[in-house]
Structure 1
Amino acid sequence: MTTKGSKYRARTESGDPDPIDVHVGGRLRLRRTLMGLSQTDLARSVGLTFQQVQKYESGANRVSASRLFHIAESLDVPVSFFFDDMPREGGLEEQPKVAFEPDRELLELTRNYRSIADAEVRRGIYELVKRLANKDGATE
């Protein structure tokens, strides 16, 4: 949406990438990292170079709709995932921040959890972690 007399630009007045492109790139990086994929792994799965993935993740290059669709398929998320947590009113006036930066321990835990083939065992671990995280020590 543009206002009278203004022109939509892919970059801000200062030459920085559009904050929406930065947000989408941050969400792409978050999902790729949580899945334990390298930039090269993702690039191969959608027919890109890892440098293109780097530029998408930084917001330096804009991701086309068709490319975003294929990336979403490869990362097993809906396209809307890339726009989650983005302010809707008034646009983005400052650089959006990724909800959290996963640390190495969380990434390893997530990868290992996802590799458990037995759904019953996975559910048991999930319930155990929920109980351990309960601060008052009460069980549900």
Structure 2
Amino acid sequence: MPVSEGGPDQIDVEVGLNLRRMRLARGFSQTELGNALGVSFQQIQKYERGSNRLSASMLVKAARFLAISAADLLPMDDDVKPIPNFIHRFAEVRGVPELVDGYCTLRNPALRSVLLQLVKAMNGKPAAEARPMAGEAAASPPP
């Protein structure tokens, strides 16, 4: 597998994203994980971004602390594909997992559409007329 030029290796990025996902799923802060591993929360941030590689010993220690298998932190297969840039932001912005989870649990397609249009408008993008996403049935907007 070729090593990526000018940035972290995609395997390190995927391991870091898996570490972040498992840490958040278990309700631990970066500080708590850092204390368990004997490193700073800043070092945990670097691990989670993939900018610093997790050594085998740190990977095993992190897995033990999170009560998972070390293999759970490794890529799913040997054919690791580049991770889209927007995924990197998920690991860096607080609240993204909760926002995505909340969006996904909205049952009303019209509400999801309105929320998406709100976010676009707040970012200065033109807000299109609220309409259901592909594959969703139209629903009347909330009162």
Q: Which of 60, 69, 94 is equivalent to 2:82?
A: 94
Superposition deviation, residue 87 in structure 1 = 3.4
In the alignment, structure 1 segments of 5+ residues that lack a partner are 2-7, 108-140
Q: Deviations over 1:79-111 (max 9, x none)?
A: 000125x332xx32311769xx7326969xxxx
DSSP-derived class of the 1:60 partner: coil
Counterpart of 1:45 (choices 31, 36, 39) is 36
Match of 1:67 in 2: 58
Residues 1-140 of structure 1 aligned to structure 2 (within 5 Å): 9=3, 12-13=4-5, 15-84=6-75, 86-88=76-78, 91-95=79-83, 102-103=97-98
Determine what percentage of the aligned residue pairs are the same residue: 41
The runs of 4+ residues in structure 1 deviating greater than 4 Å are 104-107
Q: Which structure has the higher relative contact order (CA within 8 Å, separation 6+)?
A: 1
How does the TM-score come out when normalised to structure 2?
0.57
Q: Secondary structure at the match of 2:97?
A: coil
Once the 2 structures are TM-superposed, how far is the Cα of residue 60 of structure 1 from its aligned partner? 0.1
Q: 1:106/1:93 Cα in 2 relative to 1: closer, same or farther (>3 Å)?
A: closer
Counterpart Cα distance in 2 of 1:17 and 1:70: 22
Letter matched to residue 42 of structure 1: L
Question: What is the deviation of 1:42?
Answer: 0.5
Residues in 2 aligned to 1:54 and 1:87: alpha-carbon distance in whole angstroms: 24
Which whole-Å CA distance do the structure 2 matches of 1:39 and 1:57 have between them? 9
Quote the offset at 1:78 in angstroms.
Answer: 0.4
